[in-house]
Amino acid sequence: MSVQRVVATDAALALIATLVKRHGPVMFHQSGGCCDGSAPMCYAQGEFQLGEHDRLLGEIGAMPFYMGAAQFQYWRHTQLIIDVVPGRGGMFSLDGNTGLRFLTRSHLFSDQEEAELAATERPETPRFTPTPWK
């Protein structure tokens, strides 16, 4: 599929590679909090318990990226572009002490991109892949 719901900049991919080297496989969950609403949170895989309403949007740097279903309803017409900016990441996010933080930017899908997504996505797309607690 050429249209993707989530993509990452080269800077974000570089930080992901660094975090994977330090912590092993990671996962992302788009924060729905009031303060970090544009900050995707990065966790070691298995350190964040996904719920039945979390939706797998895709992968960045070969790592899964999730968003809660209610928040997805607001963002479904938007491609998430994960970038990196100087600063401190969320308290529980692995980027917290790197001097960089992940940031979500966005691109509104064109009618053509939405049609392509509609043609390629199944409505019953699994929302998440359960990860056992460590």
The pLDDT tens digits of the residues spanning 13-51 come to 999 999 999 999 999 999 676 555 568 999 999 899 898
- Tell me the whole-structure pTM to 2 decimals: 0.85
* Full set of structural domains in the chain with CATH: 6-120 (2.60.300)
Question: CA-CA distance, 13 to 19, in Å (whole number)?
Answer: 10
Mean per-residue pLDDT pooled into runs of 10, the chain (134 residues)? 91 97 95 67 92 92 94 92 88 87 94 92 58 55
Question: CA-CA distance, 40 to 44, in Å (whole number)?
Answer: 13
Number of helices (H) and strands (E) in the chain: give both, helices first: 3, 7
Q: Which two tokens stand for residue 11?
A: 């800077």
